[in-house]
Amino acid sequence: MRDFFYPQSVAVVGVSPRPGNLGQGIVGNMTRFGFRGILYEVGASGGVFSGRRIYRSVSDIPDKVDLAVILTPARTVADVLQECGEKGIRRVVVETGGFREHGEEGLAHEARVVEVLRRHGMRMIGPNGLGVINAEIGLAAPFMPIEERWRPGDVSIIAQSGGVGLSLISLLAEENLGLNKFVSAGNMLDVGVEELLAYLVEDPGTKLVVLYLEGIRDGRRLMEVARRSTKPILAIKGNVGTLGKSIAASHSASLSNDDRVVDAAFRQAGIVRVRNATNLAAYIHGLRMPPMRGPNLAVLSRSGGHAVLAADSCERHGFHLSPFPPEFLRELEKHFRASVIKLTNPLDLGDLFDLEVYRKIIDQTLEQPDVHGVLFLLTYIPGIEGPAAREVLKFAGEAGRRHDKPVVLYVATSQEVLLRLKQSLEHPVWTHIELAVRSLRVSQGYLDEAPRWRRTPAPPDLTVDTAGAARLVAAAQAEGRDPYLHEAVQALACYGIPVVAGRHVHTPDEAAAAAAALGYPVAIKIVSRRISHKSDFGGVQLNLRSEQGLRQAWADMMERIAKAFPDAEVEGVLVQPMVTGGREMIVGGRRDAAFGPVVLVGMGGVFVEILREAALRVAPVDREETVRMIDELPGAAILRGARGSKPGDVDALADVILRVARFLADVPAVREVDVNPVRVFPQGEGCAALDARVILG
């Protein structure tokens, strides 16, 4: 990857002297940002641009070329690549659009491109992107003229949309943050986000990575790369709903992901997700400042009203405003006119007009061992106090770095003044209290969560009968169907999931015999490949207390099924002993196209209607993580024994989740598993899976 970012010579292919030629934009950017290598222009028409010769082909270039940046019509790209290959160029950036995202014809172009790349062992970024930037060496390949002056710095960007990528560059400039590297990945026909990220997390120039993603292809690889990273990774994920799908497909050729899986995966891998881009600056700054190592915040404010709003915001974000210790208050008192002000946290500096004193207070506050961060709110009169205020703000930022604690600055002033402040201070300045406090929340949250994703999940060693389960699945697969209910139940039993044993029968007489053997009361359930939501159609009859009741239920069930599914082949009936008591839960798993096996757990029964939220994880998970899944459910309190009820056997439930994860991992033919309901009995009494579905994919 390094060769994409540190070429010593670059050929821009697609330049012509004609006005409006887009290739000129690339040359313009490279020139404006002072590319330190050698630049060659190439274009079929030849001629001269900007005082330099345009070569008709890369093969005409007399020297070695490290990187070709290509912006010629889609149908010509394969040929250009062929020439590059012959010339020995091994890295290409293709900015041209009109491939996969434009349908059939584009797909054909794409196929040729892939073929040429393979033949010459070339690597490509794009097509349909804005290419790469490396601020360290003035490499600036986008064809869109970039007027924003970035300063070289340590933030790098990977964007699956050029336009959004450029907006991110603007944001950095606005926040006075330096850019290091930028990639607009385009259609990712060859190099993908995962590989680029893997490079950037190792890249010495990059300290923080911002991702804009529209579709994730190899989610597992992305997670692995992120987990290894010692640098913060922020991600904005677009294309999360149904409305954005079609435009994303035609724009960056991205397929959409299940957003709940993305959410879980990011959390598991330590990728900090920014859901509302309005907050992005708060996230970036939050992860660049000295970390907030605890919940105790000191708020210093010159305006009482702003202090009130700050206190509200701190509370919303879970910070504590601990009272200052008495000796510190005695120190503070020296700065104030006697008794005018109450010395509390937030500290109202309203009556203090000498900005010099603020420095001492800030420093003394940061010295307090129990203060983990400072929020400093400064309202001032730009003209009169402007220079002094600027110095205080500068001092506050530096004091934070000196004490290795975060200091966030809020300023109420005019836009012009603010713009100048932002551009002249190393430290971020906020105009919204909420964003300032959020940046502290991001900082503390990142520190808190880090140990979790840094630990590689080690699923416990479980005794399972893989061969047995695989046999059942293979048998169904051979008949081109999903496993029947009784087979699904058996497969899960092979994996040690405590399914309620049952007997698969075909006649009322067999059912009666089974019930007698199992003991009444029993439940009967239809077995059929066509009927998946069997309880909705009378396919489940519960609580049958006698043979007579059983036979009547059988007849009733068959009649209703015949009416609802006249064509369904009924493969018999499963007779199970009735299980009552316990809390109804749901455990499931499926194979996600991008992230592989995922598992989930949720409340069952009546709660399904009102608590649709399930806890979800990308597998593998360890025991600790499964318990965490259960505990983050909105109904966890009930399972944990709220309101005097007995605590449920959470460990047994966690075990079911682990076994479902293992089943999915071991038997690739399985696309989806539903264990619903699982009844969780009081602690120590385990749980029982009453019903199951296994779907092959």
Residue 381 interacts with its own copies (CB under 8 A): yes or no: yes
473 closest CA partner among 465, 464, 482: 482
**Residue among 38 and 255 whose Cβ is closer to its own copies:** 255
Distance separating alpha carbons of residues 240 and 46, to the nearest angstrom: 45
Residue 321 interacts with its own copies (CB under 8 A): yes or no: yes
**Residue among 66 and 214 whose Cβ is closer to its own copies:** 214
Q: Choose which of 180, 187, 257, 303 interacts with its own copies (CB under 8 A).
A: 303
Residue 214 interacts with its own copies (CB under 8 A): yes or no: yes
Residue 39 interacts with its own copies (CB under 8 A): yes or no: no
594 closest CA partner among 343, 239, 332: 239
Residue 611 interacts with its own copies (CB under 8 A): yes or no: yes
- Residue 223: both structure tokens together: 């997670």
Strand-pairing partners, residue 524, are 541, 575
**Site for its own copies, residues 270 to 289, rule: CB under 8 A:** 276-278
301 closest CA partner among 343, 268, 334: 343
**Site for its own copies, residues 125 to 144, rule: CB under 8 A:** 144
Q: Choose which of 104, 327, 416, 461 interacts with its own copies (CB under 8 A).
A: 416
* Minimum distance from residue 322 beta carbon to its own copies (Å): 10
Q: Which residues contact 256 (CB under 8 A, 6 or more apart)?
A: 215, 239, 240, 244, 245, 248
Residue 104 interacts with its own copies (CB under 8 A): yes or no: no
Where do the H-state alpha helices sit in 545-686? Answer: 547-564, 607-610, 623-631, 636-639, 650-666
* Minimum distance from residue 50 beta carbon to its own copies (Å): 16
CA atoms within 13 A on the CB side of 274: 26
Distance separating alpha carbons of residues 616 and 587, to the nearest angstrom: 10
Residue 538 interacts with its own copies (CB under 8 A): yes or no: no
* Minimum distance from residue 379 beta carbon to its own copies (Å): 5
Q: Choose which of 24, 156, 160, 187 interacts with its own copies (CB under 8 A).
A: 160
Distance separating alpha carbons of residues 586 and 603, to the nearest angstrom: 6
The one-character DSSP state at 509 is H
Residue 540 interacts with its own copies (CB under 8 A): yes or no: no
Sign of the dihedral through C-alpha 154, 155, 160, 164: negative
Q: What are the two backbone dihedrals, phi and then psi, of residue 642, each rounded to the nearest 5 degrees?
A: -75, 160
Residue 568 interacts with its own copies (CB under 8 A): yes or no: no
Say if residues 443 and 287 touch (Cβ distance below 8 Å).
Answer: yes
Distance separating alpha carbons of residues 270 and 629, to the nearest angstrom: 16
Count residues contacting its own copies (CB under 8 A)?
86
Binding mask 431-450 for its own copies (x = CB under 8 A): -xxxx---------------
Show the CA angle centred on residue 469, arms to residues 468 and 471, nearest 5°. Answer: 65
CA atoms within 13 A on the CB side of 124: 31
* Minimum distance from residue 517 beta carbon to its own copies (Å): 32
**Residue among 383 and 566 whose Cβ is closer to its own copies:** 383
Q: Choose which of 166, 587, 654, 692 interacts with its own copies (CB under 8 A).
A: 166
Residue 338 interacts with its own copies (CB under 8 A): yes or no: no
* Minimum distance from residue 71 beta carbon to its own copies (Å): 14
Q: Choose which of 39, 44, 240, 357 interacts with its own copies (CB under 8 A).
A: 240
Residue 305 interacts with its own copies (CB under 8 A): yes or no: yes
Distance separating alpha carbons of residues 332 and 361, to the nearest angstrom: 7
Q: Choose which of 48, 107, 111, 340 interacts with its own copies (CB under 8 A).
A: 340
With contacts defined by CB under 8 A, name the span among 5-13, 76-84, 479-487, 606-614 that binds its own copies.
Answer: 606-614
Residue 412 interacts with its own copies (CB under 8 A): yes or no: yes
Q: Choose which of 47, 73, 88, 163 interacts with its own copies (CB under 8 A).
A: 163
18 closest CA partner among 64, 49, 63, 53: 49
With contacts defined by CB under 8 A, name the span among 288-296, 377-385, 394-402, 465-473 that binds its own copies.
Answer: 377-385
Residue 581 interacts with its own copies (CB under 8 A): yes or no: no
* Minimum distance from residue 316 beta carbon to its own copies (Å): 7
**Residue among 57 and 161 whose Cβ is closer to its own copies:** 161
615 closest CA partner among 649, 645, 585: 585
Residue 382 interacts with its own copies (CB under 8 A): yes or no: yes
Give yes or no for a cis peptide into 597 (omega within 30° of 0).
no
Residue 19 interacts with its own copies (CB under 8 A): yes or no: no
633 closest CA partner among 654, 649, 658, 612: 612
Q: Choose which of 30, 61, 196, 309 interacts with its own copies (CB under 8 A).
A: 309
- Residue 141: both structure tokens together: 């390949």
How many other C-beta atoms can be found within 10 angstroms of the C-beta atom of residue 147?
9
Q: Choose which of 379, 466, 477, 683 interacts with its own copies (CB under 8 A).
A: 379
Strand-pairing partners, residue 139, are 134
Residue 57 interacts with its own copies (CB under 8 A): yes or no: no
**Site for its own copies, residues 625 to 664, rule: CB under 8 A:** 634-635, 637-638, 642-643, 645
Residue 572 interacts with its own copies (CB under 8 A): yes or no: no
Residue 578 interacts with its own copies (CB under 8 A): yes or no: no
* Minimum distance from residue 382 beta carbon to its own copies (Å): 5
CA distances from 491 to 531, 581, 646, 657, 665 (A): 19, 25, 31, 15, 14
Q: Choose which of 79, 86, 115, 315 interacts with its own copies (CB under 8 A).
A: 315
Residue 543 interacts with its own copies (CB under 8 A): yes or no: no
595 closest CA partner among 617, 614, 625: 617
Residue 294 interacts with its own copies (CB under 8 A): yes or no: no
With contacts defined by CB under 8 A, name the span among 200-208, 285-293, 376-384, 479-487 that binds its own copies.
Answer: 376-384
Q: Choose which of 419, 475, 555, 669 interacts with its own copies (CB under 8 A).
A: 419
Residue 38 interacts with its own copies (CB under 8 A): yes or no: no
Distance separating alpha carbons of residues 191 and 196, to the nearest angstrom: 7
**Site for its own copies, residues 249 to 268, rule: CB under 8 A:** 250-252
Q: Choose which of 16, 29, 206, 239 interacts with its own copies (CB under 8 A).
A: 239
Residue 608 interacts with its own copies (CB under 8 A): yes or no: yes
* Minimum distance from residue 320 beta carbon to its own copies (Å): 8
Number of H helices, E strands in the chain: 24, 29
Residue 610 interacts with its own copies (CB under 8 A): yes or no: yes
CB burial string 437-475: b at 16+ within 10 A, e below: bbbbbbbbbbeeeeeebeeebebeeeebeeeebbebbee
